[in-house]
Amino acid sequence: MRIEKEKRKVIIFCNDNSLVKGFIHINPGERVADFLNNAKDVFIVVTEVLFQNIGQVHSFKMYNELTGKKKAVILNKSCIKSVEEV
C-alpha cells in the first residue's frame, strides 16, 4: 500500500552557506519541523532542486558535477543549518 505524500516547497540553508531550494515530500498533515526532527531518518530527499551559493560547496561531495539544478538529491540532515517553508 502506498501513502500519498504532500509536496512542500522549502529553502534549506546548509552549514557551508549554500542554499538548496526544492520540494520535500511529507505525510499528509505533518509539519515540516516534525519531518525534519524525526530522529530515525538521517537523510532527506529533496526534489526539483536548485542550488545557490555553490561556489564553495562542501556539503555535497559532488560539487564538481553541480550544474545548479538536479532532479533530486539526498541530503544529510547534519548538513542543514535551517529550513524555511515557502
User: Residue 44 corresponds to which cell in the numbers above?
Assistant: 532527506
- Whole-model pTM? 0.82
User: Residue 65 corresponds to which cell in the numbers above?
Assistant: 558535477
Band of pLDDT at residue 16, cut at 50, 70 and 90: confident
In a domain, 32, yes or no: yes
How large is the average pLDDT for residues 68-75?
87
Q: Which amino acid is at 21?
A: K
3-state secondary structure of 65: helix
Give the count of domains, the chain.
1
In a domain, 11, yes or no: no
How confident is the model over 32-61, as pLDDT tens digits?
999 999 989 999 999 999 988 765 555 555
In a domain, 55, yes or no: yes
Q: Which residues, 6+ apart, have CB-to-CB distance to 65 below 8 Å?
A: none
Enclosing domain of residue 57: 17-79
